[in-house]
Amino acid sequence: MSITPDHFRQALQRTPFHDRFVDHSVNEEWMAWNTYKVARIVDKISTEYFAVRSGCAVMDLTPMEKYRISGSDAYAYLDRLLTRDLSRLRPGRVTYVVWCNDEGKLIDDGTLFQLDDTDYRLCSQHHQLDWLLMSAEGFDVSITVETHDVAALAVQGPTSFSVLATADIDGLEDLKPFGIKNLQCNNAPVTVSRTGYTGDLGYELWMQPNDALAVWDAIFGVQGQYDIHAMGLNALEMVRIEAGFIMPGFDFNTAESTVRNGYERSPFEVGLGWVVNLGKGHFTGRRALKAEQSRPVQRRLEKLVVEGNKPVGESFVYSGKDGQQVGEIKCTTWSPILKANLALADIEYQNGQLPSDLWVRIDYQRELKWHSTWAKCEAHSKPFYMPEHRSLTPPAQF
């Protein structure tokens, strides 16, 4: 990890791509992400949204927490830390993972890259170094922070493969979802993973900070042949909800950040039971999760389609119109491509079952006067948006 000695003189750090985002920025809407200054909106949120869904969008991933985990006990350590069975993970592959405390409550989620037999990279939303080091007691592993030493770009959308191929990044045609390849771009070494947070076809590019601008310029050098737009975090919020992806710290409280008992959540409670393997052997939180699985379901983070087109916002969910409050909306968006109000909501179950008649009360303002209305909700078990082209290998060429 390298931070300049006088970094304290600047409130927020600049990523290696910052100057390029400044060049594209129309609104100058910035925000803080993990000590970095990043774009909330670059041009227009509608332009950035449709770039993901019908073209190609490029977003700065550099602020994401990145940890290099290596050593002879790297696999044993990660197998003990994470809830997922890692026995089928191989070098050149990525998998989605979560980890818990002893009470089976979520610490964080992330992606685990196996770079070599005993060499991994773990990416997460929040700072996790302290937890990772405490969990490494007794294991022969090395854990280092790579957050500031690895620049990263997300290149997402139906034409992302065509854009990268035209930018002379060769070898992507046989890269399958959750695969990794070490390639070249504009004479710079780039690690490319077929991963993303948009639910669409997409790639993430990992490189040395000194090579960042060369890679950016190669991608945007094919602008005109393809419609390419820089994207901020507001558009990402829209597409990740459409894909049904959850955000720690926003859709649920992480165990380390929760102040009051009962407000933290387990993987089962946020719909991530599919990444918990109770049969793989011991891992942190296994006993508590096994006990939870044997009890009736108490609550779940549910995907809801809310009727109408009024912004849902922060609203309560009820069992029956004017009935008992059973939950609350955690995040919501209007989906332009689906023409629907989408939401993720924390819902209390009744006798182990999801209440069948869900309604949300929407409070909205019109000309400085507040109004209330009711809207019926429909629960969905699958992602709202799941296009076939996202998983094609080779991807469709445009």
Enter the DSSP assignment of 223: B
Span 109-137, average pLDDT: 96
How many residues in the chain? 398
**With 0-12 CB in 10 A as exposed, 13-18 as middle and 19+ as buried, what is 328?**
middle
Give the integer Cα–Cα distance in Å for 246 and 344. Answer: 8
Q: Which residues, listed in sequence order, are joined to residue 99 by a DSSP beta bridge?
A: 82, 108
Sequence-ordered list of residues with C-beta below 8 angstroms from that of 315, at least 6 positions apart, any chain: 328, 329, 360, 361, 362, 363
Q: Which helix (H) or strand (E) holds 22?
A: helix 18-24
The pLDDT of residue 5 is above 80 = no
H helices present in 276-340, as ranges: 286-293
The pLDDT of residue 342 is above 80 = yes
Q: Which of 148, 126, 129, 153 is nearest to 69 (CA)?
A: 129
The pLDDT of residue 18 is above 80 = yes
Give the integer Cα–Cα distance in Å for 58 and 43. Answer: 13
Which residue shows structure tokens 């920025």?
25
- CA dihedral for 121, 127, 129, 130, sign (positive or negative): negative
The pLDDT of residue 94 is above 60 = yes
Sequence-ordered list of residues with C-beta below 8 angstroms from that of 6, at least 6 positions apart, any chain: none
Give the integer Cα–Cα distance in Å for 292 and 297. Answer: 8
Span 28-44, average pLDDT: 96
Q: Which of 153, 123, 172, 142 is nearest to 397 (CA)?
A: 172
Residue 270, pLDDT score: 97
Residues 126-159 pLDDT 10s: 999 999 999 999 999 999 999 999 999 999 999 9
Residue 167, pLDDT score: 97
CA dihedral 14, 17, 23, 26 (to 10 degrees): -70
Q: Has this prediction a pTM greater than 0.85?
A: yes
Residue 71, pLDDT score: 97
Residue 1, pLDDT score: 45
Give the integer Cα–Cα distance in Å for 135 and 163. Answer: 41
Span 16-35, average pLDDT: 95
Least confidently predicted of 87-91, 249-253, 337-341 = 249-253
Ordered structural domains, the chain, with CATH: 7-64+148-242 (3.30.1360.120), 66-145 (3.30.70.1400), 297-380 (2.40.30.110)
Residue 364, pLDDT score: 86
Sequence-ordered list of residues with C-beta below 8 angstroms from that of 88, at least 6 positions apart, any chain: none
Give the integer Cα–Cα distance in Å for 203 and 13. Answer: 25
Using DSSP's 3-state secondary structure scheme, residue 152 falls into strand
Give the integer Cα–Cα distance in Å for 321 and 319. Answer: 7
Cα 166 to chain center, whole Å?
A: 27
One-letter amino acid for residue 200 of the chain? D
363 near 370, Cβ under 8 Å? Answer: yes
- What is the average pLDDT value for the chain, to the nearest integer? 95
342 near 305, Cβ under 8 Å? Answer: yes
Using DSSP's 3-state secondary structure scheme, residue 311 falls into coil
Which band of pLDDT confidence, cut at 50, 70 and 90, is reported for residue 7? Answer: low
Within a 10 A sphere around the Cβ of 331, how many other Cβ atoms?
18
